[in-house]
Amino acid sequence: MPFTITIDGERLSVPAGTTILEAARRLGRDIPTLCHRDEVEPVGSCFLCVVAVRDRPGLVPSCVARVEDGMEVTTDSPEIRAARRMALELLFSDHPGDCEASCTLACPARLDIPGFLRHVAAGRPEAAARLIRRRIPLPGALGRICPAYCERACRRGQRDEPVAICAMKRHVPDREQQEGAAWLPERPEPTGRRVAIVGAGPAGLSAAYTLLSMGHACALYEARPQPGGMFRYAVPAYALPRDALEHEVEVIRRMGAEFHLNTALGREVTLEELRARHDAVLLATGAQADVPPGCPGAQAAIPALRFLEEVATGRRTDMAGGAVVVGDGQEALAAARSAVRLGAQPVTLLSGLSRARLTRQPGAQDAAEEGVTFETDAELVSLRQRDDGAVECAVRRPGGEMTLVGECVIAAGSRRVDVRGPARWGLEVEEGALSVDDAGRCRGAPDVFAAGEVTLGATWSVRAVAGAVGVAASVDQYLRGEPVVGERHLLCVRMGRVEPAVLEQLCRGYPETPRAEPQKLPAESRRGDFREVRPGLCAEAARQEARRCLNCDCRARDNCKLRIYGTEYGADLHRLDGESRGFERDDRHPELVYESGKCISCGLCVRISAAEDEELGMAFRNRGFGTRVGVPFDRPLSEGLTRATARCTEACPTGALAFKPEEVTG
């Protein structure tokens, strides 16, 4: 005799013995579960599947509750969602581990670093290239000049030396370039949509790659004669060789990008025209306004950006006499080191920072080796052009006053966005940058987006690239008629800096090996030319280095139900924090890794291994909050799971039991 029940107002007839969960599924309602698996008896452990049943107090676990005739069930309500959220938060509070590796989280572009390193370790540079470009479409450039936040967060660094992530990142496009290849991603059918990207600098190029990979057509409008933006016109060739940059652009060209060079917005083409001719416009015009020093005689100094552009375009090829560079950022150092290479002598860098701080800047060490002199704690008071053409710099320092003289004085102030542009285009400006909403859309212009330094202000290029990739996702949503919300990431459980005991777990099986450090060009030979100072790694060295990665990311990162539901229900990871179990990683089984810290005690592996008649299988140990799952009698995992390995691992709703990536041996 079937029962008639009501679920969310809909009636249906089900046989006696059906659970509420099964009945709901017949109506297409997918109630979330963690500890449920169709082929195994349900137990009612996780309580994510709670529903409300009329006349029953509290909430009911639908996976184990059987229907009764006339039952009225509600599967969704604010109370139910709050209960599910609390269940998830309780589980998270006792769940040590990292969803994403700490390097990935430190990277502004959220690059899947362990992922691409595993490809390199396995000798699959093409797969590595495609993976990297999903987040960083210009790996050859960034792998040379990025400050590498990732390496600072690298757990390996807690043990010996961090993995040389940056070097690994550029190694991949270097290989590609060597082989004359372009490892393009698979693309979907063309969508028929066209996007205009204004500016072919790091942000514009990155947005183009991303949108092209999604199937849209892209036309880049670049004011300068060549694409590259800051990468070409501000980063000297000794840091980013021209051919490497060309290769990056070539890849994007091969993706189908159209380039309109020497075309400036507001000059050769207007915003209205672009909006009319394209389905969406993305502004990536950068922050290229140099702020001159505010002292008297400032006009006697050359702006650093102009100087660097002259060097890059070959308009300035040699310098006689001394040069003084005022400033301490990357442009200042680039100007100083370029001046050295052009023959200027002496080259002095005048900075208001202390010596200690200045020498910590990336590139400062190299500059000192190349002969640049630092005058620190110094303030420029005034400039005076002398009759003989040289420039006098009056400098004030704690010790007293002094005068520096140079044939050429280069001023590297902070870079700004030229806000006159946006104003002319009718767009809002906020705090010295183009104003956009959280998804990167310009206010009041639904089809106009902006990314990179034009919205962020002058910053590290990796942020501009990351921002552009993110906004490209918004453009894609817009083009598809979906709500424009930008990139959405799954929540991340993270351990942060780990205790020695945990580090030991992570490092087990990884021998202590030194970090690969390619040889810098000796300082003397650097003075004369613009050859690349830091060469890349050879293939074998790269493979070895990639194997140093501890693979801190969770094996179930992309299909962990706890993570997915946690994100869906807006779980606050730390609201219910308290004592929690320790992190443990057991990777002695040939096929799988067991991280007991991530276990939610659902018992699926216990039941499945029993059903498969494993001699040992998995067992519950202890009771209550201290419940753990493990192999009986402390035997190794390889003895515990033999024929049930695959079923148990697939059933595990978190990353506790997960398959080893094939690349990681042992």
Partner 1 sequence: MTEVTEQSARQTGGAEQAVDLDAVDQIIERHGRHRGAAIPILQAIQERFRYLPQAALERVCERTELQPAQVEGIATFYSQFRRRPVGDHIVSVCVGTPCHVAGADAITESLMRHLDIPDNRDTDEEGRWTIEEVPCLGCCSLAPVAKIGERFYGYLTRDTAPRMLEHFLQTYGGRDADEEPPGRPGGRQEDGELTEIRLGLDSACIASGSDRVRAVLLEEAQRLGAAAHVRGAACAGMYFQEPVVEVLVDGHSFRYAGVTPGVARHLARRHLRGRGLLARGKAALLRAKDLLTSDSAWTEPDDHTLDSRDPATNAFLAGQKHLVMEGAGRLDPDSLDDYEAWDGYRALREVLVERTPEEVIEAVKKSGLRGRGGAGFPTGQKWEHVRARHEDTKYVVMNGDEGDPGAFMDRMLMESYPHRILEGLAIAAYAIGAQEAHLYIRAEYPLAVRRIRRAIRQAEERGYLGKNILGSDFSLRVNIMQGAGAFVCGEETALLASLEGRRGMPHYRPPYPAERGLWGKPTLVNNVETFANIPWILRNGPEAFAAIGTERSKGTKVFALVGRIKRGGLIEVPMGIRIGEIVDEIAGGMQEGRIFKAVQIGGPSGGCLPASLRDVKIDYEELTQHGAMMGSGGLVVMDKDTCMVDIARYFLEFTQNESCGKCTFCRVGTRRMREILERLCEGDGKPEDIELLEQLANRIKGTTLCALGQSAPNPVLTTLRYFREEFEAHVEGRCPAGLCLALIRYEVTDECNGCTVCAQACPADVIEARPYEKHEIDQDTCVHCGSCRDACPRDAIILRKD
Does position 616 interact with partner 1 (CB under 8 A)? The reply is yes
Structure tokens at 645: 């390995």
> Is the CB of 519 or the CB of 633 nearer to partner 1?
633
> Is the CB of 48 or the CB of 113 nearer to partner 1?
48
The β-bridge relationship of strands 323-326 and 408-411 is parallel
Least Cα distance to 207 among 457, 455, 490 occurs for 455
Q: What is the DSSP string of 253-294?
A: HHTT-EEETT--BTTTB-HHHHHHHSSEEEE-----EEPPPS
User: Using CB atoms within 10 A of its CB, is residue 553 exposed (0-12), middle (13-18) or buried (19+)?
Assistant: buried
Identify the bridge partners of residue 619 per DSSP, sorted by sequence position. 630
Binding mask 42-81 for partner 1 (x = CB under 8 A): -xxxxxx-x------xxx-x--xxx---------------
Using CB under 8 A as the binding criterion, the count of chain residues that bind partner 1 stands at: 47
> Is the CB of 547 or the CB of 589 nearer to partner 1?
589
The β-bridge relationship of strands 347-350 and 373-375 is parallel
| The one among 606, 608, 637, 658 contacting partner 1 by CB under 8 A | 606
Q: How far is the CB of 54 from partner 1 (least distance, A)?
A: 14
Instruction: Give strand ranges (E) for 355-442.
Output: 373-375, 379-385, 391-397, 400-406, 408-411, 415-416, 429-430, 433-434
Angstrom distance (rounded) from CA 316 to CA 80: 70
Identify the bridge partners of residue 442 per DSSP, sorted by sequence position. 436
Supply the DSSP symbol for 626: G
CB 536 within 8 A of CB 52: no
Does position 361 interact with partner 1 (CB under 8 A)? The reply is no
Does position 91 interact with partner 1 (CB under 8 A)? The reply is yes
Backbone angles phi, psi at 421, to 5 degrees: -55, -65
Q: How far is the CB of 93 from partner 1 (least distance, A)?
A: 6
Q: How far is the CB of 500 from partner 1 (least distance, A)?
A: 19
| The one among 55, 189, 579, 662 contacting partner 1 by CB under 8 A | 579
146: CB partners within 8 A, 6+ apart:
166, 169, 460, 461, 462
Q: How far is the CB of 42 from partner 1 (least distance, A)?
A: 9
| The one among 600, 652, 656, 657 contacting partner 1 by CB under 8 A | 600
> Is the CB of 88 or the CB of 436 nearer to partner 1?
88
| Region near partner 1 per CB under 8 A, out of 225-233, 436-444, 591-599, 601-609 | 601-609
Does position 270 interact with partner 1 (CB under 8 A)? The reply is no
| The one among 627, 643, 646, 665 contacting partner 1 by CB under 8 A | 627
Least Cα distance to 208 among 471, 529, 570, 520 occurs for 471
| The one among 196, 469, 618, 648 contacting partner 1 by CB under 8 A | 618
CB 618 within 8 A of CB 557: no
| Region near partner 1 per CB under 8 A, out of 88-96, 170-178, 374-382, 477-485 | 88-96
> Is the CB of 110 or the CB of 607 nearer to partner 1?
607
> Is the CB of 54 or the CB of 355 nearer to partner 1?
54
Q: How far is the CB of 553 from partner 1 (least distance, A)?
A: 25
The β-bridge relationship of strands 72-74 and 3-7 is parallel
| Region near partner 1 per CB under 8 A, out of 388-396, 431-439, 527-535, 573-581 | 573-581
| Region near partner 1 per CB under 8 A, out of 251-259, 355-363, 549-557, 619-627 | 619-627
Structure tokens at 144: 């040379």
Does position 138 interact with partner 1 (CB under 8 A)? The reply is no
Tell me, what amino acid is at 17? G
Tell me, what amino acid is at 481? G
Does position 276 interact with partner 1 (CB under 8 A)? The reply is no
Angstrom distance (rounded) from CA 319 to CA 312: 14
First to last CA, the chain: 56
Does position 83 interact with partner 1 (CB under 8 A)? The reply is yes
Does position 506 interact with partner 1 (CB under 8 A)? The reply is no
> Is the CB of 634 or the CB of 662 nearer to partner 1?
634
Residues 633-652 contacting partner 1, CB under 8 A: 633-634
> Is the CB of 46 or the CB of 121 nearer to partner 1?
46
Tell me, what amino acid is at 443? R
CB 367 within 8 A of CB 352: no
Does position 263 interact with partner 1 (CB under 8 A)? The reply is no
Per CB under 8 A, residues contacting partner 1 are 43-48, 50, 57-59, 61, 64-66, 82-83, 86-87, 90-91, 93-94, 576, 578-579, 600-601, 603, 606, 609-610, 615-627, 632-634
